[in-house]
Amino acid sequence: MTSIRYIICDLDGVVWNGDSFIEGSVEAITQLQRGGASVWFVTNNSNKPPSHYVQRLSDAGVDQAHQLLTSAQAAATLIESDERVLICAGPGVEQAVSEAGGAPIPNTEDAVGERIDAVIVGLHIEFDYPRLDRAARAVRSGARLIGTNSDTTFPTATGEAPGGGAILAAVEAATGREALLAGKPHAPMAAAVAERVGPEFLPENAVMIGDRYSTDGRFAAELGCRFIAVSSGVKPDDEDVVVWKRVPCLADAAQHVVGDC
């Protein structure tokens, strides 16, 4: 079997649930890194800027926590420089658009009547009817509709909560338009991973560890690597996904992987 050099690791439901780290997850990451694997964190949670997740991992003792990509960053690769982008999402998307050279337009009353080239929809804790109305009007007026991801829920310590995909579904329903999707399991995120990791990245040397089959499992297929499914997050939701190993949590996944590093 080809040795494993790269671990592509989900965060929500794998490393933590809500505010709580899953037992043994930090130690498992350390074990993988000491075993010779390069661990990359890839999350569909676009709400916060990458620095938030990096700091959280670093504070818990994770090395190389900056090796991280969010669906907000993937979505920002789909806009052109100087495009005006209505932000129907959290601050993570606003920052990513700004860093990509776009002009983020806050989804407030001031956006009414503005020229909007694209609308990016992601997890947005303050989402409400007026924001839905403004996003829908911009799309119906010709703005491209981009979704950070289609995950309708995400795991928390108290169960699954509505995700960015649920908000995106409302905008799609209100406009009759289908969004271009950026995060896992779609090509923009796969391209972003390949670019960040570098030309030495080979799918046969990589493993994706995640909880959501329709997202993480299909992302492994998009990358061309193997998929380890953990049961510490959401329930299996796609029976057609090819699973290399099924384990309870990241700590168990690390036990399987280290011997192959």
Give the Cα separation of 215 and 15 in Å (integer).
16
- Identify whether the C-beta of residue 222 lies closer than 8 Å to the C-beta of residue 23: no
Q: What domain range is 123 assigned to?
A: 73-181
**Does the residue 109 lie in any domain?**
yes
Total domains present in the chain: 2
For the record, the structure tokens of 181 come out as 């999707």
Main-chain dihedrals φ then ψ at residue 192, nearest 5 degrees: -65, -40
CA 94, 187, 119: angle at the middle one, nearest 5?
30
Of 118, 152, 181, the one marking the end of a domain is 181
**Does the residue 32 lie in any domain?**
yes
Question: 124, exposed or middle or buried, with CB in 10 Å at 0-12, 13-18, 19+?
Answer: buried
Q: What is the pLDDT of residue 1?
A: 46
**Does the residue 108 lie in any domain?**
yes
Give the Cα separation of 230 and 246 in Å (integer).
6
**Does the residue 173 lie in any domain?**
yes
pTM over 0.85: yes
DSSP symbol at 111: G
**Does the residue 62 lie in any domain?**
no
Verify that 232 and 203 share a domain, yes or no.
yes
In this structure, the chain runs to a length of: 261
Q: Is 42 helix (H, G, I), strand (E, B) or coil?
A: strand
pLDDT digits (tens, 9 = 90+) for 167-192: 999 999 999 999 999 999 999 999 99
For the record, the structure tokens of 40 come out as 């990359």
Of 133, 166, 181, the one marking the end of a domain is 181
Task: Give the pLDDT of the chain (261 residues) as one tens digit per residue.
Answer: 468 999 999 999 999 999 999 999 999 999 999 999 999 999 999 999 999 999 999 999 999 999 999 999 999 999 999 999 999 999 999 999 999 999 999 999 999 988 999 999 999 999 999 999 999 999 999 999 999 999 999 988 899 999 999 999 999 999 999 999 999 999 999 999 999 999 999 999 999 999 999 999 999 999 999 999 999 999 999 889 999 999 999 999 999 888 666
Question: Quick count: other Cβ atoms within 10 Å of Cβ 160?
Answer: 16
Within 13 Å of residue 252, how many CA atoms lie on the same side as its CB?
13
Of 181, 196, 229, the one marking the end of a domain is 181
Q: What is the pLDDT of residue 239?
A: 84
CA 94, 66, 81: angle at the middle one, nearest 5?
35
